[in-house]
Structure 1
Amino acid sequence: MSVQGLPGTSPGLRAAGWAQRGRALVLSRSNNALTVAAAVVIIGLPLLALVMPYPHSPLAPNPNAVAVAPNGTYWFGTDGNGMDIFSRTIEAAKLDLPISLAATALALVVGVPLGLFATSGRVGDVLMRVVDAFAALPTIVIAVVGIQLMGGSALDVVFAIAVVAAPRFVRLSRAAALSLRSARYVEAAVAIGCSPLRVAFNHVFRNAYGVVLVQATLTAANALGTIAALNFLGVGAKPPQPSWGGMISEGFSMLIRGEWWASAYPTLAMLLAIGSLNILAGALETRIERVERAR
């Protein structure tokens, strides 16, 4: 029984107990609201780009409205080519977010099975040495070289980011498999003749999928930052196709002249998306911890 329920407890202690419960309830509700807001951002931005009628074309320049400051007609202003920053910022979400999520999904699908089956044997040791070699190389360098070799389309960016991100899932799933290999339910499954494939996915992965999902969310956030860096360097999306990194790069020359809006708004949009993915990762981790404590 808690202190607040003990007979003879002082009013001061009871009041402190109720205050602590109230704070916990407020924090819980605020965290839930923040998680919902983050999910709305990640899902809503690409949907908004698909269904929203833009006030101005995101691809067509207006030579009569070059470098216009934010106003009632151009909400986020225009860039040095006379293109609407607001429309281009929303349009960029239709490219950057799906690419980051698709690359993360591909890395997960490839990396998790490799990690689950790399727990023993010569093949597993060789695989982990290859993974370590990839992890030692700079992410941007691998992505730039891969994209340039493949051609530079959106699909090429997905594959390049997936190659960079897959080693994280290999390591994570391998660590989970090694930690759970000696668990009694895994030993029992092996003893009754379950196949290695069934043991890996029905008994090992089912008890480690939570950490994999958290890592997937964090990887999507990292992938979004990598995509922006690539576009900033001119690799990936080609003008006039908008991308957050490309817009930030184009706005730098305007920033020197004090025209801050061309790079500020795409930067805020990118940070909002990355922050939302990190919030979702934190919420998933908290949820998993609660489930583990309840077992």
Structure 2
Amino acid sequence: MSVQSAPPTSASIRAVRWSRRGRLRLGARWNGIAATIAVIVIIGLPVFALIGPYPIDPFRPDPNAIGIAPNGVHWFGTDGNGMDVFARTIEAAKLDVPISVAATLLALVVGVPIGLFATTGRVGDAVMRVVDAFAALPIIVIAIVAIQLMGGGAWNVILAIAIVGAPRFVRLSRASAIALRSSRYVEAAVAIGCSPMRVAFNHVFRNAYGVVLVQATLTAANALGTIAALNFLGVGVNPPVPTWGAMISDGASMLIRGEWWAAAFPTLAMLLVIASFNVIAGAIENRIERVERAR
């Protein structure tokens, strides 16, 4: 004898609906809190580096305090030159984080318009062949070659990272433009005589900017890692300006002696900022999904 389950009642259906809404609201709230903390980390570190002052000068070596472990005076210890690791870790955020953001913005400003207009014709095909050629090469190699041609310095690092990141925005904006150009509102805009510029930015980009923002935050995280790699190899920002990559490179030689702090704390700071960019990207993506479900 089989037992048939009772049909769901209206009360049980409402309970399921409320539970789903509650989970969605709770998830959205946690995503918002995490994104807020991430923004505070990304903005707070450079701002703290700007306003200072530090307990110890990040540029002043102390011959009597070389390779000291973390203590009450030197919170993150000292490096092989006797300079305070905490002060230099915070000071490095003043340069590394703005460089990654500036390079991402430059790549976005250059890459998005090219992708929006490179959808058809021989010019579009030629642009995508160049983009595909860039994508086939290692990112770090392109950045090193660009810096070697232009020279070191913060501005040249920004240009090199922008050159590396722009093809991502070209591909993404081009794919969005191709997907949206057959939409009814785009066809209607073309039918009433809107210019290609207006169609591209006022109709196509406005409906794809969320995806571009997600890519921008991920590109900023990748840019920060690329900047650290360049400075680790000694082809980025010139010393004595502290950068996380250069600090990790200098601290790597101290690991043999068991002096881990000179490389560990800059690495943790860099990973914290990279994770913050990824959290913001996830929050934006979740927001886009909620908007799509609401439609």
The residue that corresponds to 1:164 in the other structure is 164
Cα distance per residue 1:66-122 (max 9 Å; x no partner): 001000000000000000000000000000000000000000000000000000111
Measured at CA, do residues 4 and 76 of structure 1 come closer, stay the same or move farther in structure 2, by a change above 3 Å? farther
The residue that corresponds to 2:225 in the other structure is 225
Displacement of 1:17 after TM fit? 7.8
The residue that corresponds to 1:53 in the other structure is 53
Measured at CA, do residues 284 and 73 of structure 1 come closer, stay the same or move farther in structure 2, by a change above 3 Å? same
Displacement of 1:235 after TM fit? 1.1
| Equivalence map 1:111-190=2 (5 Å) | 111-190=111-190
TM value normalised by structure 1: 0.93
Asked whether the 8 Å contact 2:157–2:237 carries over to 1, the reply is no
Do structure 1's residue 236 and structure 2's residue 240 form an aligned pair?
Answer: no
2 CA distance for matches of 1:290 and 1:19? 16
Cα distance per residue 1:159-181 (max 9 Å; x no partner): 00000000000000000010011
Equivalent position amino acid for 2:110 in 1: V
- Larger mean CA deviation between 210-219 and 21-30 belongs to 21-30
Displacement of 1:25 after TM fit? 4.8
Displacement of 1:210 after TM fit? 0.6
2 CA distance for matches of 1:109 and 1:96? 20
- Larger mean CA deviation between 99-108 and 284-293 belongs to 284-293
Do structure 1's residue 94 and structure 2's residue 94 form an aligned pair?
Answer: yes
2 CA distance for matches of 1:148 and 1:75? 36
The residue that corresponds to 1:83 in the other structure is 83
Measured at CA, do residues 188 and 26 of structure 1 come closer, stay the same or move farther in structure 2, by a change above 3 Å? closer
Asked whether the 8 Å contact 2:104–2:223 carries over to 1, the reply is yes
1 CA distance for matches of 2:172 and 2:21? 36
Equivalent position amino acid for 2:266 in 1: P
The residue that corresponds to 2:108 in the other structure is 108
Asked whether the 8 Å contact 1:218–1:277 carries over to 2, the reply is yes
2 CA distance for matches of 1:46 and 1:98? 8
2 CA distance for matches of 1:18 and 1:121? 51
Displacement of 1:19 after TM fit? 6.8
1 CA distance for matches of 2:245 and 2:180? 41
1 CA distance for matches of 2:90 and 2:185? 49
Equivalent position amino acid for 1:6 in 2: S
- Larger mean CA deviation between 27-36 and 131-140 belongs to 27-36
Measured at CA, do residues 62 and 5 of structure 1 come closer, stay the same or move farther in structure 2, by a change above 3 Å? farther
Displacement of 1:282 after TM fit? 0.2
2 CA distance for matches of 1:92 and 1:224? 12
Asked whether the 8 Å contact 1:4–1:17 carries over to 2, the reply is no
Displacement of 1:4 after TM fit? 9.6
Q: List runs of 5+ in structure 1 lacking aligned partners.
A: none
CA-based RMSD of the aligned residues comes to: 1.9
Q: Secondary structure at the match of 1:30?
A: helix
Measured at CA, do residues 86 and 63 of structure 1 come closer, stay the same or move farther in structure 2, by a change above 3 Å? same
1 CA distance for matches of 2:84 and 2:213? 37
2:10 to 1, 6, 11: 6
What is the number of equivalent residue pairs in this alignment? 289
Displacement of 1:292 after TM fit? 1.8
Measured at CA, do residues 261 and 106 of structure 1 come closer, stay the same or move farther in structure 2, by a change above 3 Å? same
| Equivalence map 1:26-41=2 (5 Å) | 26-41=26-41
Cα distance per residue 1:27-75 (max 9 Å; x no partner): 4433222111101001111001001210111111111110010000000
Displacement of 1:238 after TM fit? 2.1
1 CA distance for matches of 2:90 and 2:176? 39
Measured at CA, do residues 263 and 190 of structure 1 come closer, stay the same or move farther in structure 2, by a change above 3 Å? same
- Larger mean CA deviation between 231-240 and 271-280 belongs to 231-240
Cα distance per residue 1:244-288 (max 9 Å; x no partner): 011001001111100000000000000000000000000001111
Measured at CA, do residues 114 and 24 of structure 1 come closer, stay the same or move farther in structure 2, by a change above 3 Å? closer
Q: Secondary structure at the match of 2:253?
A: helix
Do structure 1's residue 73 and structure 2's residue 77 form an aligned pair?
Answer: no
